[in-house]
Every structure is written in structure tokens, then in C-alpha cells.
């Protein structure tokens, strides 16, 4: 039975790698895959999905004004679509999520979405994520570790001095040099970890422990 899936994580947890593996598996078995990403995300080029380990694929760049259900429906009417994959779903709109639900319910095509659940301010990333959490039948977390070894559940944005940045715009598309995934206590403390500080040439923080 077709379902609406949401696979979420913090940054650098391998969600795009997992998406591309799923795509490969469907294609290897003769399926027709429609892969979408946000037109806002141009890190690898508009309409290009790329993982940290070097895997990549062309995708359909989805703009806020686009009708996802109409695009898929037009293709499906000519050749049956096996699955719809969506990367960087946090940049989509709430309307796109309802359109994805229509694809599942009316066309009986599974839709698998991948993206961030939280933003750098410790809140749900966008209205699209709120809608996904409400509508998705299948919700799975792709886990990542904080620099302390605990599960990372938050995203820190930091400046060139290694200081946490918790103001400004939610969407500032950047790479590893601007963001780090951490546990909640280290997010509250604004601690990016020794490895990130070393990369910036900053001394490690010394934590005093009472005797």
C-alpha cells in the first residue's frame, strides 16, 4: 500500500546518501523514479542532488509555485511512476506536502521525503515540516552523533570565531563550515566541539568540574 514517508535527521546524518541508495534500488528493479529537490538549494547546482560521499543524481527543481501532484500526474498518465522521492523537503511548502498526500491517495504512488526536522533556532524548520508530521504515515529518524557521543538532535550555526549564531534568517544555505549537529545540552551551551574549533584555529574550551 502506498504511503507518505518522512525520513528526518539533523545535518550530515547521511539522509541524501540514503535517498540516492533507495533511488538506485528502484531503478535497478526496473522502476520509474521521479526525484525532486528544492529550487532554493543550489549547493550542487539547481536540480542536482548530491551527498557528502560523492553520490549524485539529477532531480526536478521544485519551486514554491509548482504543483507537485500535477507534475507527477502528467508523467504517470503516460508511463506508470513507481515512486516519488523528495530531497530537502524542509524547503518545500505546506501545499507541496498536501499535493504529495494526493499523489499517495489518488495515484497510489509512494512518496518518500527526506529533510531536516529542526532549524538552527530549535524549532520545527518550516510549515512543510509541520504538515509532514501531521500527514505522514511513516516517520523515521536517521541518527547522527554529537561530538560528545550523545545523539545529535539539534543544529548549531556558527561564525568564523566558532561562536554560535542563533539570530538572523532561518534559511542560510551553506556547507559543513557553517553548521554542526549537536545534542541539546551542547546546543544550549553553543559548543561546536573541539574538532570544529581546531579547524578554525581556536583553542579548545576547558570545562571546570567541581572536586
Binding site members for Zn(2+): 146, 148, 183, 186
Alpha-carbon dihedral of residues 185, 191, 196, 200, nearest 10 degrees? 170
Binding site members: 9-16, 87-90, 146, 148, 171-174, 179, 183, 186
- Residue numbers annotated as active site: 88
In the beta sheet, which residues pair with residue 140? 7
Binding site members for ATP: 9-16, 87-90
Task: Report the C-alpha gap between 119 and 171 in whole angstroms.
Answer: 8
* Consecutive H or E run containing 113: strand 111-116
Are the CB atoms for 55 and 20 separated by under 8 Å?
yes
Binding site members for substrate: 171-174, 179
- Among 130, 24, 135, 129, which Cα is nearest to 82's? 24
- Among 149, 150, 144, which Cα is nearest to 118's? 144
Task: Report the C-alpha gap between 147 and 151 in whole angstroms.
Answer: 9
Say how many Å lie between the first and final Cα of the chain, rounded. Answer: 59
Q: CB within 8 A of 183, min separation 6: which ones?
A: 146, 148, 150, 151, 152, 153, 154
Amino acid at each position: 500500500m502506498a504511503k507518505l514517508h518522512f525520513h528526518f535527521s539533523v545535518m550530515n546524518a547521511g539522509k541524501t546518501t540514503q535517498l540516492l541508495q533507495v533511488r538506485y534500488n528502484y531503478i535497478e528493479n526496473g522502476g520509474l523514479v521521479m526525484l525532486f529537490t528544492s529550487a532554493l538549494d543550489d549547493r550542487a547546482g539547481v536540480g542536482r542532488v548530491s551527498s557528502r560521499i560523492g553520490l549524485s543524481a539529477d532531480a526536478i527543481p521544485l519551486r514554491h509555485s509548482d504543483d507537485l501532484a500535477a507534475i507527477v500526474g502528467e508523467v504517470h498518465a503516460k508511463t506508470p511512476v513507481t515512486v516519488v522521492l523528495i530531497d530537502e523537503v524542509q524547503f518545500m511548502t505546506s501545499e507541496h506536502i498536501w499535493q504529495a498526500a494526493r499523489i499517495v491517495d489518488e495515484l497510489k504512488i509512494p512518496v518518500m521525503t527526506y529533510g531536516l526536522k529542526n532549524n538552527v533556532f530549535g524549532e520545527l524548520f518550516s510549515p512543510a515540516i509541520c504538515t509532514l508530521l501531521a500527514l505522514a504515515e511513516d516517520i523515521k529518524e536517521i541518527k547522527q552523533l554529537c561530538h560528545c557521543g550523545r545523539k545529535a538532535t539539534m543544529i548549531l550555526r556558527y561564525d568564523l570565531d566558532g561562536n554560535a549564531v542563533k539570530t538572523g534568517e532561518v534559511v542560510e544555505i551553506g556547507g559543513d563550515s557553517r553548521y554542526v549537529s549537536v545534542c541539546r545540552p551542547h546546543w544550549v551551551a553553543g559548543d561546536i566541539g573541539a574538532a570544529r574549533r581546531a579547524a578554525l584555529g581556536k583553542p579548545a574550551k576547558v570545562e571546570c568540574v567541581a572536586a
